[in-house]
Copies of this chain bind each other. A is one copy, B any other.
């Protein structure tokens, strides 16, 4: 900027004014300065800018799994919200923790040091103390697609119990009485909630919890789905479920693939319900019945909550919960 000022024959302050308050400077000077900037190939230094101004124009989304289309769709919703709100002055950076707590922590540290305007995150563990600390230190954090126990952040999630419920209710209505649950459910969290919903639906139909057959996987990938499919096929016919409810679509697609390999017909031999309704679910071997989450809305809402927190005064943390819906396709309709 000093060089530009020199070249244009004005003071440094004027160059800054051209950049930040162009209306405060006469058209003639502005033209001179702009010419000098072009001439010298001036590029603003964002570090200095941010250091002095104190604020940053960057949001970040720390995704749990960049290779799962669900999260990239959520991210797309955030981008829309940021574009709409920021008047081109706001950008969203994506970080992929790939389920690794260490990577997640590294990104969070970096973002906090960078003094980003706010952090959106689908965390490995929504109750990790680190998230609360960051929020307390002043960087707003919004939890996406998870529900934290505490009240230090806003969050946006989907009613997973209800999602599980409608999935299994549908299967029961189709006449299934033994249903596999395929996923990595733990004591808390999303997958547990989906399973809980499944149990509720069974109960509502007068079927006990023993009608749910757990096939536990390590994670929720296509490969896990394939493995679970093989285990399922290996069960004796007397106990083998006639339907499977998968904790996400990747697992369901893997399961579907195993079925194709083993010549099990879907839905005749096995009905399948997935979760997330990613784009590929509709294009699958047998188009997949799935529980649709409003992906873009989740992202958009999360970004809006974050922006409200950074701009608004007297902010109250909110927990938004969306309601999923069942999309019925061939994989459950005989």
A residues touching B (Cβ–Cβ < 8 Å)? 41, 43-51, 56-58, 60, 66-67, 69, 72-73, 75-76, 79, 83, 88, 91-96, 98, 103, 106-107, 110, 112-115, 133, 137, 222, 253-254, 256-257, 260, 279-280, 282-287
Closest residue of chain B to A110, judged by CB?
Answer: B91
Q: Decide if the interface of chain A is mainly helix, strand, loop or mixed.
A: helix
Docked CA distance A249–B92 (Å):
28
Are B91's CB and A106's CB within 8 A?
yes
Q: Give the number of copies in the complex.
A: 2
Closest beta carbon of chain B to A240's beta carbon, Å: 22
Are A283's CB and B93's CB within 8 A?
no
Closest residue of chain B to A54, judged by CB?
Answer: B47
Docked CA distance A119–B43 (Å):
16
Are B91's CB and A94's CB within 8 A?
no
Top 7 closest A-B pairs, CB basis? A94-B94, A46-B113, A93-B93, A47-B51, A253-B283, A285-B285, A47-B50
Subset of 27 A-B contacts with CB under 8 Å: A41-B133, A43-B137, A45-B51, A46-B47, A46-B110, A46-B113, A47-B47, A47-B115, A49-B113, A57-B110, A60-B93, A66-B75, A69-B69, A72-B72, A79-B98, A83-B103, A91-B110, A93-B93, A93-B95, A94-B96, A222-B279, A222-B283, A254-B283, A256-B283, A280-B280, A283-B285, A285-B285
Closest beta carbon of chain B to A163's beta carbon, Å: 22
Closest residue of chain B to A136, judged by CB?
Answer: B41
